[in-house]
Amino acid sequence: MNRFDFHIHATDGRARTGTIATQRGTIRTPAFMPVGTAATVKGMHPEQVKAAGADIILGNTYHLMLRPGAERMARLGGLHRFMNWDRPILTDSGGFQVMSLGSLVKMREEGVSFQSHVDGSKHFVSPERSIEIQRLLGSDIVMAFDECTKHPASHEQAASSMRLSMRWAKRSRDAFLENPAPALFGIQQGSLYRDLRQESAERLMEIGFEGYAIGGLAVGEGQESMFEVLDYAPDMLPPDRPRYLMGVGKPSDIIGAVLRGVDMFDCVLPTRSGRTAQAFVTTGTLNLRNARHAEDTGPLDPECPCPTCANYSRAYLHHLFKAEEMLGPMLLTQHNIWHYQQLMQGLRDAISEGRVEAYARDRLDRMDQAAA
Buried b (16+ CB within 10 A) or exposed e, 245-271: bbbbbbbebbbbbbbbbbbbbbbebbb
Here's the x/- map for its own copies, 218-247, by CB under 8 A: it reads as ------------------------------
Options 2, 23, 84, 290; binder of its own copies; rule CB under 8 A: 84
How far, in Å, CA of 95 to CA of 168, rounded? Answer: 11
Stretch that binds its own copies, among 162-170, 196-204, 319-327, 348-356 (CB under 8 A): 319-327
Site for its own copies in 17-56 (CB under 8 A): 38-40, 42-45
Site for its own copies in 252-311 (CB under 8 A): 294-295, 297, 311
Contacts of 75 (CB under 8 A, 6+ apart): none
* Strand ranges of the sheet holding 105-107, from the earlier edge strand across to the other edge: 105-107, 112-115, 122-125
Say if residues 182 and 23 touch (Cβ distance below 8 Å).
yes
Nearer to its own copies, 7 or 75 (CB): 75
Q: Where are the beta strands (DSSP E) in 201-327?
A: 211-214, 243-245, 264-267, 278-281, 284-287
Stretch that binds its own copies, among 24-32, 123-131, 222-230, 326-334 (CB under 8 A): 326-334
Options 3, 106, 167, 326; binder of its own copies; rule CB under 8 A: 326
Please state, as a whole number, how many other Cβ atoms lie within 10 Å of the Cβ of residue 282: 19
Nearer to its own copies, 207 or 327 (CB): 327
Q: Is 15 in the site for its own copies (CB under 8 A)?
A: no
Angle at 242 (CA atoms; ends 237, 243), nearest 5 degrees: 55
Nearer to its own copies, 168 or 321 (CB): 321
Smallest separation, CB 313 to its own copies (Å): 7
Nearer to its own copies, 295 or 353 (CB): 295
The gap from C-alpha 123 to its chain's centroid, in whole angstroms, comes to: 25
Please list the active-site residues: 92, 266
Options 8, 205, 219, 327; binder of its own copies; rule CB under 8 A: 327
Count Cβ atoms within 10 A of the Cβ of residue 170 and give its class: 0-12 exposed, 13-18 middle, 19 or more buried: middle
How far, in Å, CA of 319 to CA of 99, rounded? Answer: 39
Query: Residues interacting with its own copies, by CB under 8 A?
Result: 38-40, 42-45, 63, 67-68, 72, 75-77, 82-84, 294-295, 297, 311-313, 315-316, 319-320, 322-323, 325-327, 329-331
